[in-house]
Structure 1
Amino acid sequence: MDFLALAKSRYTTKKYNPSKKVSEADIEALKEIIRLSPSSINSQPWKFYFVSENSLKSSLADASIFNKPKVDDASHVVVFCAIDDVQLFEEKIQKNLPEGAVAYYKQHIKPLSEAEIKSWFGHQVYLALGFFLSACAAMGIDSTPMEGIENEKYAEILKLEGYKPLFAVAIGYRNVEDANQPSVKPKYRFVAEDVVESI
């Protein structure tokens, strides 16, 4: 299937089949794909947690507000986290990135306020989200991006240090009764003329 066809068929899954799990081979492939996500200056200010263990996933579900049924029934929930320690980030890039990338950070990002720097970290994590959702679609795996989570509770459950959860993605396979799938509820987007211009 070409990418345009995938874009037309992919949708946000609202109801999962709890008995159908994503294979370990596909999970390992997704881990490698997300590791290869693009980011500004190759900054990679992130961590991704793939959670499938039932009790841990259940605890995350309880901290997922209206998304609880999706987390409960999905095969895995993937938690997308941004680094939350500017000094730690600077140490990591100084050690791992080329001189030009570090110089760009020092000139254009470091002079910003701490809140603005952390916002920039978050922007990179959202780039990874788009990459990940596309990969899931290409592999025939259904997905649900979820900002509707209790971030502080997620951090406590996962015992995070130096990183903070921004959002999560439930992955698995749709329940045949999911009313949100395109065969039941046609996909709606604004017309091209409203959102795309050629100049």
Structure 2
Amino acid sequence: MTITKEEILKAFHFRHATKEFDPSKTISDEDFKFILETGRLSPSSFSSEPWKFVVVQNEQLLNKIKSSSYGAASKLPEASHFVIILSRTPRDMRYDSAYQREQQSKAVPKERLSRHLEIFEEFQRNDFKLLDHERFLTDWAIKQTYIPLANMMTAAALIGIDTCPIEGFNIEKINQLLEEEGLLEDGHFTISVMLAFGYRKKEPGPRIRLPFDDVVKWVK
């Protein structure tokens, strides 16, 4: 099965940060699993896969999130599905962590693993200076979670489903809430971003983007 360039661009024009969802419409299990699978299959630096997708369906937890996140408050009552994207913390993102050693051993043949881990250390220690501060490792991991975020939004748009990425929350408060719910796995994860899914209640206004030539620079 093929998809045309025109169909892909149509999906990008269709997609917008939906502010109001139609509460009478629900995404099918088949469609939502498809969307999540596009997130799971997303690429990550050094095959680190520093994410987890928490699909929140518990009404009590949704209400707690609603009261703790101004960005989610207006979406949660009407959205069909709500996902919290978690990011792994430095304890799992260091090149020499147990998690990364396991990940790298799955991605690289045994005979090349030792050299690969040396390159991984060089990348973190000297190339990107990620070991200079724990925050750098955290930010590196969180940046990668935006790859599956974008892929899931695009996949949803391709099948006519709306989304809204949400950063409108206090990180410490949401992390505390998620920790109390046992979702951060004893400090192995932190909140990255939230994503609401559903069907738009009304058509959006005109899309505003910079002109193509202002965004793209050709260097010959």
Query: What's 1:109 paired with?
Result: 124
The structure with more radius of gyration: 2
Shift of 1:151: 2.3
Tell whether 2:182 aligns with 1:126: no
Q: How does 1:22-171 map to 2 (within 5 A)?
A: 22-87=27-92, 90-97=97-104, 98=108, 99=113, 102-110=117-125, 112-113=131-132, 114-159=134-179, 160=184, 161=186, 162-171=188-197
Change (3 A) 1:72 1:152: farther
Matched-pair contact (CA < 8 Å) for 1:39–1:128: no
Residue 9 of structure 1 pairs with residue 14 of structure 2? yes
Q: TM-score, normalised by structure 1?
A: 0.87
Query: Structure 1 pair 157/134, CA: closer, same or farther in 2 (3 Å)?
Result: same
Deviation per residue, 1:3-60 (Å, 9 max, x gap): 1111112111000112211111222222222111111111111111111222221211
SS at match of 2:213: helix
Asked whether the equivalents of residues 136 and 143 of structure 1 are also in contact (C-alpha less than 8 Å), the reply is yes
Matches of 1:79 and 1:31, distance apart in 2: 12
Contact 1:50 1:79 in 2 (8 A): yes
Question: SS at 2:74's partner residue?
Answer: helix
Say if 1:149 and 1:167, in contact at 8 Å, map to a contact too.
no
Contact residue 37 and residue 131 of structure 1 kept, 8 A: yes
Identity among equivalent positions (%) equals 30
Q: Tell me how large the CA RMSD over aligned residues is.
A: 1.9
Deviation at 1:110, TM superposition (A): 4.2
1:79, 1:165 within 8 Å by CA — same for their partners in 2? Answer: yes
Aligned counterparts of 1:128 and 1:80: Cα–Cα separation in 2: 9
Q: Name the SS of the counterpart of 2:139 in structure 1.
A: helix
Alpha-carbon distance change, 117 to 165 in structure 1, aligned in 2, over 3 angstroms: same
Count of aligned positions: 193
C-alpha contact 2:71 2:166 (8 A) present in aligned 1: no
Q: Does residue 175 of the first structure (1) align with residue 193 of the second (2)?
A: no
Q: Which moved further from structure 2: 20-29 or 164-173?
A: 20-29
Task: Give a deviation string over 1:143-168, Cα, whole Å, max 9, x none.
Answer: 00011023233223333232110210
Q: Which runs of 5+ in 1 are unaligned?
A: none
